[in-house]
Structure 1
Amino acid sequence: MDREAFTESLTKDGFPEAVVTRKEPNVTMAVHTHPFEAKALILEGELHIVCGDEERLYQVGDVFHLAANKPHSERYGPNGVTYLVGRKE
Structure 2
Amino acid sequence: MASEFEWETLVGVKIPELEKQLHSEGFRNTYVWEDGPDRRYSDHTHPAETAHIILEGEMTLTVDGRSTMYGPGQRCDVPAGTVHAARMGPAGCRYLIGEK
TM-score by length of 1: 0.88
- Looking at structure 2, the residues matched to 17 and 70 of structure 1 have their Cα atoms a distance apart, in angstroms, of 19
**RMSD after superposition:** 1.4
- Looking at structure 2, the residues matched to 28 and 20 of structure 1 have their Cα atoms a distance apart, in angstroms, of 17
Aligned to 1:65: 77
Q: Trace 1:48-87 onto structure 2 (pairs within 5 A).
A: 48-87=60-99
Aligned to 1:45: 57
- Looking at structure 1, the residues matched to 87 and 29 of structure 2 have their Cα atoms a distance apart, in angstroms, of 25
- Looking at structure 1, the residues matched to 66 and 88 of structure 2 have their Cα atoms a distance apart, in angstroms, of 16
- Structure number with the higher strand fraction is 1
Aligned to 1:23: 35
2:88 maps to amino acid: Y
Q: Number of residue pairs matched?
A: 88
User: CA deviation digits over 1:23-70, x for unaligned, max 9?
Assistant: 111122211111121112101100000000211100000001001110
- Looking at structure 2, the residues matched to 53 and 5 of structure 1 have their Cα atoms a distance apart, in angstroms, of 33
2:23 maps to amino acid: T
Per mean C-alpha deviation after superposition, the further-off stretch among 12-21 and 74-83 is 12-21
Tell me how far 1:6 sits from its aligned partner.
Answer: 2.8
Which structure 2 residue ranges, 5 or more long, are not aligned?
1-9
- Looking at structure 2, the residues matched to 82 and 42 of structure 1 have their Cα atoms a distance apart, in angstroms, of 6
